[in-house]
Chain A
């Protein structure tokens, strides 16, 4: 059974860069679409983007200028970097494994809360 676990700072200052890592266990990171999704307090889910293990990426147009998703096959990890954060980026961030051209995710992490505040 594939398992994913997010890790990273729970508090980030405004204008700084949010950085999270997702560690994948129980399966290889080669193949699949490694995806980040977030949920702001009291709101629905928002797809952030994915990195296909070979390096091709696809990002939410509303976040594209600030997002980078990278895959490290040697560590079975992938990461999220979101620059110039504001309070609006406060959310629970989920990492997930996507298939079917990245249209569907089948395994998720439990999520990690990141608060943007000074």
Chain B
């Protein structure tokens, strides 16, 4: 199973909104509502930001939101802040054989 497709990089200015896409197939993203998003500051433990496509864990700001349309899931960050600069990875359930697969990661730069 191939990795999910994410843009290598996105950028935005403080206060703006950015969206990171995650494209898969009907066998993973499009077939199930089990997409999660992780924020990773290099050298630190990755952090769960969104799970089950749209759910936010306790403590994650509501500036972070998730959605899905067809085979593409999206993470939107509104009101960009400097501390949002990080790598973001999507992850999707891909069936009982493969289980889960990740995207290649997107580097978010806050200008």
A contacts, CB < 8 Å to B: 4, 43-47, 49, 58, 60-61, 94, 100, 102-111
Contact = CB atoms under 8 A, between A and B. Distances in A.
Contact of A106 (B3, B57, B103, B105): B57
Contacts of B45: 4, 94, 107-111
A103 B100 contact: yes
A110 B98 CA distance: 25
With a 10 A CB-CB cut-off, give which of B44, B46, B57 has the most chain A CB atoms: B46
B34 A103 contact: yes
Interface string B7-28: 0000000000000000000000
Contacts of B34: 100, 103-104
B64 interface: no
Interface of B: 3, 34, 36, 43-48, 51-52, 57, 89, 91, 93, 97-105
Nearest to B45: A108
A44 B100 contact: no
A27 to B, nearest CB: 15
Nearest to A105: B48
A100 B52 contact: yes
B104 A104 contact: no
Top 8 A-B residue pairs of the complex, sorted by shortest distance between their CB atoms: A45-B102, A44-B104, A108-B45, A104-B51, A108-B46, A47-B100, A103-B34, A104-B36
Contacts of B101: 47
Nearest to A94: B46
B52 A44 contact: no
B44 A110 contact: yes
Contact of A61 (B47, B57, B98, B105): B98
B102 A60 contact: no
A56 B37 CA distance: 26
